[in-house]
Amino acid sequence: MSGAETYYVTTPIYYVNDKPHIGHAYTTLACDVLARFKRLDGFDVRFLTGTDEHGQKVEKSAEAAGMMPQALADQNSANFRDLAARLGCSNDDFIRTTEPRHIRSVQALWSRLVEAGDIYPGHYEGWYSVRDEAFYGEDELVAGPNGGKLAPTGAPVEWVKEPSYFFRLSAWQDRLLAYYEANPDCIGPQSRRNEVISFVKGGLQDLSVSRTSFTWGIPVPGDEAHVMYVWLDALTNYITAVGYPDQSGDYARWWPADLHMVGKDIVRFHAVYWPAFLMAAGLQPPKRVFAHGWWTNEGQKISKSVGNVIDPVALIDRYGLDQVRYFLLREVPFGNDGDFSHRAMVTRMNSELANDYGNLAQRVLSMIAKNCGAAVPAHGEQTDEDRDMLGAAYALAGRMRDSMNRQMFHEALEAAWVVIRAANGYVDRQAPWALKKTDPARMGTVLWVLAETVRNLALLTQAFMPDASGRLLDQLGVPETARTLACCGAQSALAGGTPLPPPQGVFPRFVDEEGAG
Ligand code: ME8
């Protein structure tokens, strides 16, 4: 095993009550882009995704479908696994909470919490939302139709009264606040961090961590009338996948996770309950939780009842995989909410991918093919403009690395586009086509500067658009072994005389059926 620095990144595990939608694809893609970027940057990466299969919500969905919960879980878990493959995801593992390795891990964690004195038996009486799989205090509820009450998320709630074990969350308030204080990067973006801190400062109640009114869950060790609260079960997946309860080997290597990527609705579970469970068990909390925003569809909230759920596979079929990957991570500042619209998608595809990036690569590669004997041109003395262009291309790796470390995907892509636009301006000003007769050596230098710029761009866009970027690197004659981020910069520059294959466009324009867009 290499001595490289490790990077462990996780998606939430998805409920198997339903089909995958754009929200799932979004989180998974963001993690994939990060995982790929880190691998290219020399890290030893572990990227985990999977499915959350227990709990009342899944049990009820199975009942409604006339299926056994395990059968429903098997069917829908496969859909999530297939989606990850369709998204081109490079996950190293796919965990299911019904697997024996996970049941063993959750029961071991439970026993640790009991030994630590942080779990005690009692009775729960209060509100529960099956849709959110969350307990709510009276003061959190909002008015619903016909004088009824709803969860703050708009989900229905029901009154629950049953024997339950509790986790002593109230005892962890100060230690959680100290953890946030000592680890300024442990929650991002800043707005979510503030939200979590003020929630914890508001006081914490002990948390009900077992249920007795249904059976689809992991039995509580020593008291099989109880199944564990699905969130305690689900969160534990992150340590199961690195071998817990065995704390040597993989666990020692990968834990604490570098990043749990989550949607904004599940921050509280990841940034309050999870670190408290871990610290109570004597384990380290994750290094960072980052919460992204939510997508709407053509300005409307996405909901099954409205019937406007976006199927990520349909998007890929219509627009192309690299295009969808690019759009989702470029369209909104990561962390904010965003709107998916056909028009916005086509604009990004046509103006940024086809016109800016695609055109740049096409122009450069076809001029080289035509005028330089289908080989990387030799280059001579450089002008200030050449040096500026190359300087911008060579500085890009550092810029993008910095943005990626803060999960600012849109910022990383914008930095690449600053270079792409600068390169298009440079081509126009240098007009290499006009130099062919007057100064062929100068033409060679200009085209070399441009090819070198495209090489650096393609290396850095690989994580976002693996297929198109790979094809650009093929066309530049860059061998597979020279595609890491360590090859950005002058030390791995294209060598004059390297033979090149015939150029091919990699970013087609989207032509709307109706001629719109
Ligand atoms: O919450 N836009 O699973 P889940 C963006 N099993 N993201 C969205 C979205 C939208 N319109 N709708 C949903 C669970 N999401 C738990 C996680 S982890 C230990 C357990 C996101 O299948 C949502 O924010 O309901 C969440 O991050 C993810 O989809 C999974 O949702």
Q: Is 227 helix (H, G, I), strand (E, B) or coil?
A: strand
Q: What is the pLDDT of residues 384-418, one digit of tens each?
A: 999 999 999 999 999 999 999 999 999 999 999 99
Q: How far is CA 293 from CA 24, 188, 254, 332, in A?
A: 12, 12, 27, 9
Please determine, for residue 86, whether its predicted confidence score (pLDDT) is greater than 90. Answer: yes
Beta strand pairing status for 44-52 and 6-15? parallel
- Give me the pLDDT at residue 304, please: 78
Q: Is residue 359 part of a domain?
A: yes
Q: Please, which pLDDT band fits residue 514 given cuts at 50, 70 and 90? A: low
Q: Please, which pLDDT band fits residue 517 given cuts at 50, 70 and 90? A: very low
Please determine, for residue 323, whether its predicted confidence score (pLDDT) is greater than 70. Answer: yes
Q: Decide if 331 contacts 348 (C-beta within 8 A).
A: yes
Helix H or strand E encompassing 455: helix 440-461
The ligand 1 atom nearest the CA atom of 234: 19
The encoded tokens of residue 412 equal 């990383």
User: How buried is residue 377: exposed, middle or buried, by Cβ count under 10 Å (0-12/13-18/19+)?
Assistant: buried
Q: Is residue 362 part of a domain?
A: yes
- 397 Cα–ligand 1 center, Å: 31
The ligand 1 atom nearest the CA atom of 24: 29
Q: Is residue 379 part of a domain?
A: yes
324 Cβ inside 6 Å of ligand 1: no
Q: Is residue 507 part of a domain?
A: no
Question: Which residue's alpha carbon is nearest to atom 31 within ligand 1?
Answer: 14
262 Cβ inside 6 Å of ligand 1: yes
Task: Write a three-state SS string for 28-91.
Answer: HHHHHHHHHHHHHCCCEEEEEEEEECCCHHHHHHHHHCCCCHHHHHHHHHHHHHHHHHHCCCCC
**All residues at 6 or more sequence positions from 504 whose CB lies less than 8 Å from its CB, including other chains:** 471, 475
Q: What is the pLDDT of residues 100-148, one digit of tens each?
A: 999 999 999 999 999 999 999 999 999 999 999 999 999 999 999 888 9
Q: Could you give the percent of the chain with pLDDT greater than 90?
A: 96
Q: Is residue 397 part of a domain?
A: yes
Beta strand pairing status for 149-150 and 187-188? unpaired
Please determine, for residue 149, whether its predicted confidence score (pLDDT) is greater than 90. Answer: yes
Sheet with 93-96: strands ordered across? 93-96, 44-52, 6-15, 259-263, 289-292, 187-188
- 302 Cα–ligand 1 center, Å: 12
Q: Is 505 helix (H, G, I), strand (E, B) or coil?
A: coil
Q: Is residue 102 part of a domain?
A: no
The encoded tokens of residue 425 equal 């301006």
- 402 Cα–ligand 1 center, Å: 27
- Give me the pLDDT at residue 333, please: 97
The stretch 243-252 carries a mean pLDDT of 97
Q: Is residue 433 part of a domain?
A: yes
Q: What is the pLDDT of residues 6-29, one digit of tens each?
A: 999 999 999 999 999 999 999 999
Please determine, for residue 340, whether its predicted confidence score (pLDDT) is greater than 50. Answer: yes
Question: Rounded CA gap, 353 and 484, in Å?
Answer: 22
What average pLDDT does the structure give for the chain? 96
Q: What is the pLDDT of residues 201-226, one digit of tens each?
A: 999 999 999 999 999 999 999 999 99
Question: Rounded CA gap, 181 and 187, in Å?
Answer: 11
- For the chain, what is the domain count? 1
Please determine, for residue 295, whether its predicted confidence score (pLDDT) is greater than 90. Answer: yes
The encoded tokens of residue 466 equal 């693996």
- Give me the pLDDT at residue 2, please: 62
- Give me the pLDDT at residue 307, please: 85
Q: Could you give the percent of the chain with pLDDT greater than 70?
A: 99
- Give me the pLDDT at residue 1, please: 52
Please determine, for residue 503, whether its predicted confidence score (pLDDT) is greater than 60. Answer: yes
- Give me the pLDDT at residue 185, please: 98
On the question of a cis peptide bond just before residue 245, with omega within 30 degrees of 0, the verdict is yes
302 Cβ inside 6 Å of ligand 1: yes
Q: Which residue has the tokens 């996770």?
A: 257
Best residue among 259, 266, 301, 334 to mutate for probing ligand 1, ranked by most atoms within 8 Å of CB? 266
Q: What is the dihedral of CA 247, 249, 250, 252, to 10 degrees?
A: 60
Please determine, for residue 359, whether its predicted confidence score (pLDDT) is greater than 80. Answer: yes
Q: Which of 37-46, 166-175, 234-243, 302-311 has the lowest mean pLDDT?
A: 302-311
The stretch 30-52 carries a mean pLDDT of 98
133 Cβ inside 6 Å of ligand 1: no
The stretch 173-195 carries a mean pLDDT of 98
Q: Is residue 303 part of a domain?
A: no
Domain that holds residue 395: 342-492
263 Cβ inside 6 Å of ligand 1: yes
Q: Decide if 270 contacts 188 (C-beta within 8 A).
A: no
- 212 Cα–ligand 1 center, Å: 26
- Give me the pLDDT at residue 441, please: 97
* CATH assignment at residue 475: 1.10.730.10
Residue 48, beta-bridge partner list: 10, 93
- Give me the pLDDT at residue 515, please: 52
